[in-house]
Amino acid sequence: MPSPELTPGSRGYIIPIGGAEDKVSAKAILKRFAHLCGGTDAVIAVVPTASVDPETPDRYRRVFAEVGVRNVKVLDVQRREDATAATTALLDATGVFLTGGAQLRLSTLLGGTDVARLLRRMNALGVHVAGTSAGAAFLSEHMIAFGKEGGSPLAGQATLVPGLGLTNRVIVDQHFRQRDRMGRLLSSLAYNPFAIGLGLDEDTAAFIGPDNKLEVVGSGAITVVDAGGLEHSSMATVDEGKPVEMIGVRLHVLVEGSRFDLHARRAFPAPEPRPHG
């Protein structure tokens, strides 16, 4: 469960990113994250645990320096025994960024450790936490570990495991349109429709504020799948690999500037552009 806020509205932003965020030109998502964390005064801790690429830490050091962040730390956790010592790198961070890679590396190496407990507590106290690709999937309480691609939900299509637990309101799937993942997000919600599904396109982020309202930032879209009003699901009765019947699902496709209230389960369009002339 998420750590309790000390005062209402004190929680930091939770920012899942669909992967392949722009690191070269506009860098809109990373600039917005850096600004939230304090701009030139920000202290950002990068957690590259999901990745086995040795160049990942330096890549994010460089890109955060390019958006004006002068103080970037790397939390080097490649074994569970590293997690306790690594907490010192988090203590003065104003933002934490979890890189992409394999989300099961995050859950198996960080789950239940001092790092995971400290990240939940820091977010409750106001520190902003972002994750891209695998890092995005790991942020919520329920994480899609793996699953088959395709547009229709199938029984057994997605395997869920415990994630970091910053929020229990969403289930995140990344690289959404690029990898045809509607079916596995729907099947994840068919197990228990309490959470809201967020299908994040690449270079697209959900900036979830302490008021549980999210704003879309980036060049793609977020597909919001709301099964809160589900009238019928056949998940409990169909055979493995067979299509799952779901009646009463609501779907929204949101683009940059659009908002969604996770508490009220209500979508709001992006502001209309002002006419020229």
DSSP annotation of 270 reads: P
Contact 44, 227 (CB under 8 A): no
Please confirm, yes or no, whether 128 is among the known catalytic residues: no
Closest alpha carbon to 226 in 207, 249, 209: 249
| Rg of the chain on CA atoms, in Å | 18
Please confirm, yes or no, whether 202 is among the known catalytic residues: yes
The catalytic position among 141, 202, 215, 252 is 202
Closest alpha carbon to 244 in 178, 184, 174, 176: 184
Give CA angle at 193 (250, 255), nearest 5°.
40
Q: Residue 250 corresponds to which tokens in the numbers above?
A: 């609501």
DSSP 233-246: E-TTTSPTTSBPPE
CA 73 to each of CA 31, 43, 89: distance values in angstroms, whole numbers, following the listed order? 17, 8, 7
Which residues, including other chains, have CB under 8 Å from residue 233's CB and lie 6 or more apart? Answer: 190, 193, 244, 245, 246, 247
DSSP 212-225: SEEEEEESS-EEEE
Closest alpha carbon to 221 in 247, 194, 251: 251
DSSP annotation of 88 reads: G
The catalytic position among 51, 107, 133, 258 is 133
The catalytic position among 128, 142, 175, 252 is 175
C-alpha to C-alpha distance for 34 and 220, rounded to whole angstroms: 20
Please confirm, yes or no, whether 187 is among the known catalytic residues: no
H-state helical runs in 11-102: 28-36, 56-66, 83-86
Which amino acids are annotated catalytic? 133, 175, 202
